[in-house]
């Protein structure tokens, strides 16, 4: 049994090994990755701080400092945190294969699993920590509590949420059998998460209905559950001491979940056995090839299955709402569905080798291949998203939402494609997956806000059309990145110089 | 297709059997701190050349440079009268490449789908897709390999290697570049591979192999290159290399152990 200080050193060294491996798979050095991470964290924290100072001034009539806003904010944190819990544990499982050789060393399996998951824990907690000034400020002023208590409350909500997500994923991992397809665990976990989310929202819904008028509801439409707000939590019975104890308990519980040996043992190949009835013969060979590859990858299938499940739930939610609420939430849903279904573009490049992708070895040009890859990802996203976009358009009576949603898919695909070509996330590069996921979400959302601000327009059509135009205009970038990378591999720029000697 | 590649097309069509399939002059390749060369060599058609050397000697780097997959910093290379770095489609049509790691294949496809992909691509330049697929079936039969109707990711290492070898040979290439082709093959597979490579050389193809098996190299090759720390210490027929030794193995160890 190693000494406690040597255990800490071992955890540190193994975690460093994981980060190094991710950095190299994304084409960066360890130092560049760490500096990039620190820079991004400081930037995000500063932005949150500035947002608090500039955009959230305290005043009696400020809507952002009312329990009506703070309560659904906590609910959102909980639902987002539990979803993030599923995602991070799924990433730990996917990364375990890369380090399976380490299990032959005389290291406790729990210690090893924890060391491998530590970078994922840190990465997944970073956005939450960086954005904490906003959450703390809103909760503190809204409920008239101290900053310390607000911080405790937020940490409690977030850690409980993570623990819920982790527990769901772990339970299904333990129940898994070798004959089950790989995407079953994430799919079942998401389905359970949806049930958890429905139960949470329903409990708020009952209280909120009695307290809210329709005017306030309008201001909540971007949170997707405008009718589920409660003012009830202002009478909190949680004392700081109890909160602190609960927080420590949750930390220990999460440590156990993250360090579960079941994660190391439950890895399976991400290539699915599901047969796609699609032939290579015919026109557009590289497009056909990449479509088949994407549809046979379990990571992408599980992502799409989850997107379909959540989109279905949103449509059910819409169908259950009254007409006025449907009209209010429909634009948000039309923006949210493309955000989910367009992620195959992020993972597509990671399916091939970094320097010598097989399609280029057999003679496709980097540009041709990159465009085919993006087109394949876009087509799959489109086929996945259109039924739900159409459903939301019909339910809300706003048929324009369908083409607008398609344009948003173009926008998200382009951004996800560029990030995917740079980071190349795959099952051995879980850091790339997590960073890519967060980055795509951040860039697409802030891009939308920026365009809205720059055009000074409230017209959704103009904003979305601008985003689509930008998406199309930047779609050449993945091809350019790939061409540069391939030229470095083959030395094409130096060879022409020497050949003509 | 750029102008250089078009010139390559023409040169492949016009190349006569007399000119060397591969020619390198003062070739220098640098990978991080490792430098291969300067080295010069010429490989005529129908010849089997085997490169031997300890790990890290530069065998894979040389093979990659010959196929345009590693940039050179100095010297010239001509492969089938083309600059390999252009990697023109017409040049690739005539080269069968067996890389060292079969896990770089497109693992989402089945073996037959991978062969079909190769056949479709190569038949666009010359030959019939169906004929290439028939040849793939013949090669699979020769290896006693019945490819499972499942993604390559689920295959064993040896099955992946056979899939890779068949994919590289189905278009009857003029030049075969194989990096450690025996790895993972069963004894029957090794025997089949040996006779296949000999048959290909007899047909007129040039075969370049990197291997660690000295005895196999001695039996199979017309010429052996010994690489040590990036330098080509010997490049002659096996008989010439072991002129002052009892066997090629002894000559190899003498070369590698000398300072």
Domain residue ranges of chain B, discontinuous segments joined by +:
1-92+175-180+208-259, 95-172
Mean pLDDT of A226-233: 37
Q: How many residues does chain B have?
A: 259
pLDDT number for residue A227: 36
Cα–Cα distance measured from residue B64 to residue B67, given in angstroms and rounded to the nearest whole number: 5
pLDDT number for residue A417: 94
Please tell me which residue of chain B has the smallest CA distance to A353.
B104
- A223 has a pLDDT exceeding 50: no
Note whether B104 contacts A356, CB cutoff 8 Å.
yes
> Out of A234-248, A444-458, B88-102, which region has the weakest mean confidence (pLDDT)?
A234-248
b or e along A383-422 (b: 16 or more beta carbons within 10 Å of the residue's beta carbon)?
Answer: ebbbebbebbbebbebeebbbbbbbbbbbbbbbbbbbbbb
- A153 has a pLDDT exceeding 90: no
**Could you give the percent of chain A with pLDDT greater than 70?**
75
Mean pLDDT of B193-222: 89
Mean pLDDT of A306-330: 80
- A282 has a pLDDT exceeding 80: no
Note whether A490 contacts B104, CB cutoff 8 Å.
no
Cα–Cα distance measured from residue B158 to residue A279, given in angstroms and rounded to the nearest whole number: 26
Residues A375-420 have pLDDT tens digits of: 999 999 999 999 999 998 998 888 888 898 899 999 999 999 999 9
Residues B67-108 have pLDDT tens digits of: 888 888 888 888 888 888 777 777 888 889 998 888 788 888
User: Which contiguous run of DSSP H or E holds residue A144?
Assistant: none
CB of A358 less than 8 A from some CB of B: yes
Mean pLDDT of A17-34: 81
pLDDT number for residue B12: 46
Cα–Cα distance measured from residue A235 to residue A143, given in angstroms and rounded to the nearest whole number: 8
Residues B119-156 have pLDDT tens digits of: 988 888 888 888 999 999 999 999 999 988 888 888 88
Smallest Cβ–Cβ distance between B121 and the set A269, A363, A495 belongs to A363
pLDDT number for residue A363: 83
Strands B175-179 and B206-210: parallel
Give the three-class secondary structure for A258: helix
Cα–Cα distance measured from residue A72 to residue A77, given in angstroms and rounded to the nearest whole number: 8
Cα–Cα distance measured from residue A192 to residue B11, given in angstroms and rounded to the nearest whole number: 64
Note whether A273 contacts B154, CB cutoff 8 Å.
yes
Note whether B153 contacts A353, CB cutoff 8 Å.
no
- B35 has a pLDDT exceeding 80: yes
Smallest Cβ–Cβ distance between A296 and the set B73, B118, B151 belongs to B151
pLDDT number for residue A98: 63
Query: Which of A242, A492, A222 has the alpha carbon at shortest distance from A339?
Result: A222
First to last CA, chain B: 48
Question: What tokens appear for A196 in the block?
Answer: 């958890």
Mean pLDDT of A250-260: 67
- B228 has a pLDDT exceeding 70: yes
The pLDDT confidence band at residue A275, using thresholds 50, 70 and 90, is: low
First to last CA, chain A: 65
Question: What tokens appear for B17 in the block?
Answer: 């059997």
- A50 has a pLDDT exceeding 50: yes
The C-alpha angle A278, A280, A281, rounded to 5 degrees, equals 110
Cα–Cα distance measured from residue B39 to residue A494, given in angstroms and rounded to the nearest whole number: 18
pLDDT number for residue B7: 44
- CB-CB neighbors (< 8 A) of A362 in chain B: 92, 117-118, 121
Residue A488 distance to chain B (closest CA, Å): 7
Smallest Cβ–Cβ distance between B71 and the set A297, A351, A491 belongs to A491
Residues A485-496 have pLDDT tens digits of: 888 888 764 444
Query: Is CATH 3.40.50.1360 what the domain over B1-92+175-180+208-259 is classified as, yes or no?
Result: no
What distances in angstroms separate CA A29 from CA A16, A23, A25, A324, one per listed residue? 12, 6, 9, 53
> Out of A150-164, A235-249, B244-258, which region has the weakest mean confidence (pLDDT)?
A235-249
Q: CB under 8 Å to A25, separation ≥6 — which residues?
A: A354, A424, A426, A428, A429, A432
The pLDDT confidence band at residue B165, using thresholds 50, 70 and 90, is: very high
Give the three-class secondary structure for B69: coil
- B1 has a pLDDT exceeding 50: no
Q: Which stretch, A61-75, A206-220, A358-372, has highest mean pLDDT?
A: A358-372
pLDDT number for residue A389: 92
pLDDT number for residue A374: 93
The phi, psi pair for B258, rounded to 5°, reads: -70, 140
Residue B92 contacts residue A362 (beta carbons within 8 Å): yes
Mean pLDDT of B27-50: 87
Smallest Cβ–Cβ distance between A271 and the set B68, B71, B153 belongs to B153
Q: Which residues are registered as beta bridge partners of B27?
A: B39
Residue found by looking up tokens 């940490």 in the block: A155
- Average pLDDT of chain A to the nearest whole number: 76
Cα–Cα distance measured from residue A49 to residue B163, given in angstroms and rounded to the nearest whole number: 57
The pLDDT confidence band at residue A97, using thresholds 50, 70 and 90, is: low
* B interface test, pick of A490, A492, A497, A501 with most B CB neighbours within 10 Å: A490
- CB-CB neighbors (< 8 A) of B107 in chain A: 271
Cα–Cα distance measured from residue B221 to residue B202, given in angstroms and rounded to the nearest whole number: 12
pLDDT number for residue B209: 93
Question: What tokens appear for A221 in the block?
Answer: 């439409």
pLDDT number for residue A241: 65
- Average pLDDT of chain B to the nearest whole number: 84
b or e along A161-171 (b: 16 or more beta carbons within 10 Å of the residue's beta carbon)?
Answer: bbbbbbbbbbe
Task: Name the more confident of A500 and A302.
Answer: A302
Note whether A271 contacts B89, CB cutoff 8 Å.
no
- CB-CB neighbors (< 8 A) of A495 in chain B: 68, 71-72, 83-86
Residues A331-372 have pLDDT tens digits of: 888 888 888 888 889 989 988 888 888 888 888 889 999 999
pLDDT number for residue A439: 87
Cα–Cα distance measured from residue A387 to residue A394, given in angstroms and rounded to the nearest whole number: 10
- A160 has a pLDDT exceeding 70: yes
C-alpha B172: how far from chain center:
13
Residue A25 distance to chain B (closest CA, Å): 15
pLDDT number for residue B245: 74
Residue B105 distance to chain A (closest CA, Å): 6
The pLDDT confidence band at residue B164, using thresholds 50, 70 and 90, is: very high
Residue B137 distance to chain A (closest CA, Å): 18
* B interface test, pick of A275, A280, A428 with most B CB neighbours within 10 Å: A280
pLDDT number for residue B9: 46
pLDDT number for residue B15: 45
- A237 has a pLDDT exceeding 80: no
- A482 has a pLDDT exceeding 80: yes
- CB-CB neighbors (< 8 A) of B109 in chain A: 289, 292-293
pLDDT number for residue B18: 56
């Amino acid at each position: 049994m190693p000494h406690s200080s040597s255990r800490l050193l071992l955890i540190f060294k193994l975690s460093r090994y994981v980060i190094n491996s991710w950095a190299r798979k994304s084409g960066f050095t360890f130092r560049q990755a760490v500096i990039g991470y620190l820079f991004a964290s400081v930037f995000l924290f500063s932005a949150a701080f500035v947002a608090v100072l500039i955009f959230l001034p305290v005043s009696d009539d400020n809507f952002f400092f009312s329990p009506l806003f703070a309560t659904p904010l906590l609910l959102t944190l909980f639902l987002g945190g539990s979803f993030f819990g599923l995602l991070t544990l799924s990433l730990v499982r996917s990364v375990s294969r890369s380090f399976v050789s380490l299990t032959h060393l005389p290291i406790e399996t729990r210690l090893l699993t924890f060391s491998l998951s530590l970078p994922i824990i840190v990465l997944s907690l970073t956005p939450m920590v960086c954005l904490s000034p906003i959450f703390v400020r809103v909760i503190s002023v809204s409920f008239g509590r101290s900053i310390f208590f607000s911080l405790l409350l937020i940490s409690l909500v977030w850690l409980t949420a993570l623990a819920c997500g982790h527990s769901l994923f772990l339970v299904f991992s333990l129940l898994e059998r070798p004959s089950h397809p790989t995407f079953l665990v994430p799919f079942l976990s998401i389905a359970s998460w949806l049930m958890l989310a429905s139960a949470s929202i329903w409990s708020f819904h009952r209280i909120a209905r009695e307290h809210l008028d329709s005017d306030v509801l309008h201001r909540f439409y971007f949170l997707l559950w405008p009718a589920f707000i409660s003012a009830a939590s202002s009478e909190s019975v949680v004392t700081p001491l109890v909160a602190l104890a609960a927080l420590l308990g949750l930390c220990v519980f999460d440590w156990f979940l993250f360090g579960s040996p079941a994660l190391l043992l439950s890895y399976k190949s991400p290539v699915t056995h599901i047969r796609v009835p699609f032939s290579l013969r015919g026109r557009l060979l590289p497009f056909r090839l990449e479509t088949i590859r994407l549809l046979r990858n379990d990571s992408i299938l599980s992502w799409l299955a989850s997107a379909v499940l959540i989109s279905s739930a949103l449509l059910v939610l819409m169908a259950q709402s009254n007409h006025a609420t449907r009209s209010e939430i429909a634009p948000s849903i039309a923006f949210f569905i493309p955000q989910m279904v367009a992620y195959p573009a992020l993972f597509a490049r990671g399916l091939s080798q970094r320097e010598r992708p097989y399609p280029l070895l057999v003679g496709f040009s980097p540009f041709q291949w990159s465009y085919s890859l993006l087109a394949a990802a876009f087509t799959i996203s489109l086929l996945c998203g259109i039924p739900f976009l159409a459903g939301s358009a019909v339910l809300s009576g706003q048929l324009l939402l369908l083409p607008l949603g398609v344009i948003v898919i173009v926008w998200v695909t382009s951004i996800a494609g560029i990030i995917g070509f740079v980071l190349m996330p795959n099952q051995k590069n879980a850091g790339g997956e997590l960073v890519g996921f967060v980055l795509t979400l951040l860039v697409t959302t802030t891009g939308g806000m920026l365009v809205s601000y720059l055009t000074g327009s409230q017209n959704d059509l103009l904003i979305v059309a601008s985003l689509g135009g930008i998406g199309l205009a930047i779609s050449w970038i993945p091809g350019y990145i790939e061409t540069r990378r391939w030229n470095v591999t083959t030395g094409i720029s130096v060879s022409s110089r020497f050949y003509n000697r | 297709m750029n102008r250089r590649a078009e010139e390559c097309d023409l040169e492949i069509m016009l190349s006569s059997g007399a000119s060397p399939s591969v020619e390198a002059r003062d070739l220098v390749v640098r990978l991080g701190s490792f430098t291969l060369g300067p080295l010069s060599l010429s490989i005529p058609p129908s010849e089997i050349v085997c490169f031997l050397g300890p790990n890290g000697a530069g065998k894979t780097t040389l093979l990659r440079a010959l196929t345009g997959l590693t940039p050179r910093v100095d010297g010239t290379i001509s492969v089938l009268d083309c600059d390999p770095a252009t990697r023109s489609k017409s040049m690739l049509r005539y080269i069968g490449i067996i890389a060292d790691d079969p896990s770089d294949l497109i693992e989402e496809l089945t073996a037959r789908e991978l062969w079909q992909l190769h056949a479709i691509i190569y038949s666009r330049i010359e030959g019939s897709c169906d004929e290439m697929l028939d040849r793939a079936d013949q090669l699979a039969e020769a290896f006693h390999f019945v490819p499972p109707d499942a993604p390559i990711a689920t295959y064993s290492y040896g099955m992946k290697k056979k899939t890779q070898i068949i994919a590289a040979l189905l278009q009857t290439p003029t030049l075969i570049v194989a990096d450690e082709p025996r790895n993972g093959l069963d004894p029957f597979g090794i025997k089949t591979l040996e006779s296949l490579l000999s048959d290909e050389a007899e047909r007129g193809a040039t075969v370049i192999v990197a291997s660690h098996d000295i005895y196999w190299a001695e039996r199979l090759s017309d010429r052996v290159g010994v690489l040590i720390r990036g330098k080509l210490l010997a490049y002659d027929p096996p008989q010439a290399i072991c002129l002052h030794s009892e066997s090629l193995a002894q000559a190899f160890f003498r070369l590698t152990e000398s300072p």
